[in-house]
Structure 1
Amino acid sequence: MCGIFGVFGHKEAAKLTYFGLYALQHRGQESAGMAVSDGREVREYRALGLVPDVFNEEILSRLPGHIAVGHVRYSTTGSTTVKNAQPFCVTHGGCTLALAHNGNLVNAYEIRRELESQGSIFQTTMDSEVIVHLLAKASRKGIVEAIREAMGIIRGAYSVILLLPDKLIAFRDPYGFRPLCLGMVNGGYVVASETCALDLIQAQYLRDIEPGEILVIDENGLSSYKGMESARRAHCIFEFIYFARPDSYIFGENVYAFRKHLGEGLARENPLEVDFVMPFPDSGNYAAIGYAQATGLPFEMGVIRNHYVGRTFIQPSAGMRDFSVRVKLNPVKEILRGKKVAVVDDSLVRGTTSRTRVKAIREAGAHEIYMLISCPPIRHPCFYGIDFPTPGELIAAKHSVEEIRRYLELDGLYYLSLEGLISAAGGEGDKFCLACFTGEYPVPVERGFRKDILEKGE
């Protein structure tokens, strides 16, 4: 999962991209970068770290131009090194291009091996680099046809923004796994992973980039081309459950409202007699509001979050996760003491974080603790860009709900059913990828890719 942002036709493209990436920081915290063009020359800057740590006024002043593409990285493929930071810039046939990719290709290893056998030399371990090599290979056919040809080869999730010296191009996989939208500001165009990035720079939302679409933005305006079609959509449901910002619109729906619907579904399926409802902030906030409003139970903030600690879900090591849990949330003893509480969270992946949090609430004096999870049990890894672990690390893959309840030392544990999740999605389950719950993958996974991941889980 990463955040991507692009600008065309604005004299301060670099500064706009900085603010766009700042709004998308929740989508990636390992590295940040941008490439900017003045119509002739492309300049780039990338580094490990958060957006405000990577960029400053002096660096932005060295990136003049009216076209830009930016990226914040959260790795699922490729190690955490600056060479794997994006945008990925190359010069081929005298033309420089820069590519920012959100998603994960399931046949990248297979393509890379084939390209290397033909003489291609790779500079990174990113799956995104294979897209650049495929574009270069077909460049003589023109950029649109090169993209169309690449789309016929790559499989998996990809929302991509491509910068050339005189144009910006956005394209999206035919299933529409990852969000990508188009906006307008001061006569220029912007492309972003989420609408919250448009809001920050006061850009007007125009529409989503369609699944399978190739959108070219240049001095002539917008030109849309069909890249590749699919018989179905497979929007990532976990974007709504966890990853997208609650103030964003993705896949045509508001994230905040969707999460409240999840809480309402939990209330219908699992009404509890407790003293109050509380979330694990911030991930459980909106489902907890929905649950409390639907049941009429009081809503309290039983734990207070330290907002200066990073998101535990995307920390790279177990040791760092455990440390973050200890400093991230602090129970309010006066509220919890002697109470029966319903704790709402958005998901349960490994279980180690929740176990530590439940223990802290118990030690703060809570009499009974019931946990409600606003999605079904996650039993299968994600191959399309979210860092769900291998099956051996997914607690629900090998343990029953009752076993998980005992492990977490809860008085009760309740998941939203798959039917409840689909109901929150307006009953249109066929529009979404539900593979992490069902194991039914919309795009078949390359045998070697999947075998490697599954073996790691054993």
Structure 2
Amino acid sequence: MFDTLNLDKLKEECGVVGVYRNKDVEVARMVYYGLHSLQHRGQESAGIATTNGIHSHFHKGMGLVQEVFNDEVFAKLKGHIGIGHVRYSTTGESYVANAQPLVVKYRRGSIGLAHNGNLVNAALLRERLEDDGIVFQTTIDSEVIVNLIARFSNEGMVYAIERTMDLIRGAYALVVMTEEQLIGVRDPHGLRPLCLGKMDEGYVLASESCALDVLGAEFVRDIEPGEIVVIDENGYKIKKIEKQIKRASCIFEYIYFARPDTTLDGVGVYQARMNAGRILAKEHPAEADMVIAVPDTSIPAAIGYAEASGIPYGEGFIKNRYIGRTFIQPDQSLREAAVRLKLNPLKQNIEGKRVVMIDDSIVRGTTSRQIVNSLKKAGAKEVHVRISSPPVSHSCYYGIDTPDRNQLIGAIKTVEQIRRIIEADSLGYISLEGLVNSTGLPTESFCHACFSGDYPINVMKENDNFKLFERLKGGN
């Protein structure tokens, strides 16, 4: 099941939460509320695992957070340490066995793990582990990670995670639960976000700071690329792996994935989106009567565009917030009806006007054309489309669900061709330089491979396989 309006958007893989409290506090409901605040990062499945220091418990299922959990489930999720996960699948099929967290027994107890991201060498590692007799229960790369951690656990959990980080390649933000510790891990490039918060007698780890706000936790810091944070009864400690690797945080977090009330790596997402709108107005001005947004993620950029251009901002669409998720419809007329059901033009606001329509991205172009046509049918005299990201022209291998490159309209068509396809009166994309400037951070801080093709991690080449095999063998 999918959100029909967002079929033409990139999808984040998931969101993670971890909570550590003193032993008198049950954390399952706290993890639940944290997951609720991260629901936008994954609507396919949800899960929570907890431990009381002796026994571990978990529950996961297909659907939204509120559909998976109830009072009966919470009664069974005992413990003062808990981790949670919401998922949109990019690796592994869509069924409950692939839902997270994963909880495995090993010689020293149990490990719970929730993972946001995607490994580029998971298949190679999985093959090697299977050759050594490991039996996998899922098809997701997260099970590779938890098996490696268990494999190297003889000298302690931090050592095991360091060894695992030395082998895996790709994007990962992890929350790991043992009987005594809550551990957070961020990949050396910082591709996926993770932050730390402090609450009374405890701590929170989460993909976004908005989850800390919901739980009443005070933001402490972002987990930096390559860092491991270990939380136990004595507080928290940070360890950074020694290898120096280029930082490359995903810039699409600021465009679309993160909630606007989140702060990522010191930058407020709402402000970055407003800045992008201001820059877009300077790069691609338009003569128009009104600026509107495709709700909801484009609203800050539309406000920024209106402010910089002097064109009034107004509502152009009414969004049905109660539609939930809808099946992909089998023919074009039903797909168009589903879009109209979710997003309907506000005719009295746009009739007879020249409008600038702000959206955050165009992936395939199909939905954009439907939305432009809906505005014109509602009486808009002209529709000038402005996009607060550059053309998406390359696939992502790090946990973002992107189509094959030949399905990316930005890879196979010019801007003018795209304008004609979506039937807009004009079309303008923000430049990559302008997008980076909207964050206030240097360009070398980001992965922007989906726009530039400049990948920070190459999919492992065959001539590197032997070296990796030997390093894994050394851990036997």
Question: Would the TM-score normalized by the shorter structure come out above 0.5?
Answer: yes
Contact 2:260-2:297 within 8 A present in 1 as well: no
Cα distance, 1:173–1:24 mapped onto 2, change above 3 Å: same
Contact 2:267-2:439 within 8 A present in 1 as well: no
- Residue identity matched to 1:345: D
Report the Cα distance in structure 1 between the residues aligned to 2:46 and 2:117, rounded to whole angstroms: 16
Alignment partner, residue 259 of structure 2: 245
Structure 2 residue aligned with 1:23, among 37, 58, 63? 37
Contact 1:175-1:212 within 8 A present in 2 as well: yes
SS of alignment partner, residue 101 of structure 1: strand
Report the Cα distance in structure 2 between the residues aligned to 1:420 and 1:356, rounded to whole angstroms: 28
Alignment partner, residue 186 of structure 1: 200
Alignment partner, residue 325 of structure 1: 339
Matching of residues 311-350 of structure 1 within 5 Å: 324-350=338-364
SS of alignment partner, residue 401 of structure 2: coil
- The RMSD of aligned alpha carbons is 1.7
- Residue identity matched to 1:5: V
SS of alignment partner, residue 257 of structure 1: helix
Cα distance, 1:253–1:303 mapped onto 2, change above 3 Å: same
Structure 2 residue aligned with 1:70, among 58, 63, 84? 84
Shift of 1:424: 1.2
Show structure 1 runs of 5+ residues with no match: 449-458
Cα distance, 1:324–1:151 mapped onto 2, change above 3 Å: farther
Shift of 1:217: 0.7
Higher relative contact order (CA 8 A, sep 6+): 2
Shift of 1:345: 0.4
Alignment partner, residue 392 of structure 2: 378
Structure 2 residue aligned with 1:47, among 61, 68, 88? 61
1:6 aligns with 2:18: yes
Which region of structure 1 is more displaced relative to structure 2, 438-447 or 148-157? 438-447
Structure 2 residue aligned with 1:137, among 151, 162, 165? 151
- Residue identity matched to 1:134: L
- Residue identity matched to 2:244: S
Shift of 1:392: 1.4
Aligned residues: 446
- Residue identity matched to 1:270: H
Contact 1:263-1:374 within 8 A present in 2 as well: yes
1:213 aligns with 2:227: yes
Identity in percent: 51
Shift of 1:105: 0.6
- Residue identity matched to 2:459: V
Contact 1:170-1:191 within 8 A present in 2 as well: yes
Alignment partner, residue 357 of structure 1: 371
Cα distance, 1:396–1:123 mapped onto 2, change above 3 Å: same
Which region of structure 1 is more displaced relative to structure 2, 288-297 or 419-428? 419-428
SS of alignment partner, residue 285 of structure 2: coil
Shift of 1:425: 2.5
Matching of residues 46-445 of structure 1 within 5 Å: 46-227=60-241, 229-310=243-324, 324-426=338-440, 428-445=442-459
Report the Cα distance in structure 2 between the residues aligned to 1:279 and 1:74, rounded to whole angstroms: 25
- Residue identity matched to 1:255: V
Report the Cα distance in structure 2 between the residues aligned to 1:24 and 1:321, rounded to whole angstroms: 27
Report the Cα distance in structure 2 between the residues aligned to 1:251 and 1:78, rounded to whole angstroms: 29
Shift of 1:230: 3.1
Contact 1:175-1:230 within 8 A present in 2 as well: no
* 1:344-395 Cα distance to aligned partner (Å, 9 max, x none): 0001111111111111111111111110000110100111111121101111
SS of alignment partner, residue 419 of structure 2: helix
Report the Cα distance in structure 1 between the residues aligned to 2:39 and 2:329, rounded to whole angstroms: 20
Report the Cα distance in structure 2 between the residues aligned to 1:60 and 1:35, rounded to whole angstroms: 11
Report the Cα distance in structure 1 between the residues aligned to 2:210 and 2:325, rounded to whole angstroms: 18
Report the Cα distance in structure 1 between the residues aligned to 2:141 and 2:322, rounded to whole angstroms: 31
* 1:255-311 Cα distance to aligned partner (Å, 9 max, x none): 000000000110111111101100011121110000001111111111111112358
Show structure 2 runs of 5+ residues with no match: 1-12, 463-476
Report the Cα distance in structure 1 between the residues aligned to 2:152 and 2:300, rounded to whole angstroms: 47
Which region of structure 1 is more displaced relative to structure 2, 300-309 or 82-91? 300-309
Which region of structure 1 is more displaced relative to structure 2, 36-45 or 57-66? 57-66
Shift of 1:326: 2.8
Report the Cα distance in structure 2 between the residues aligned to 1:65 and 1:77, rounded to whole angstroms: 30
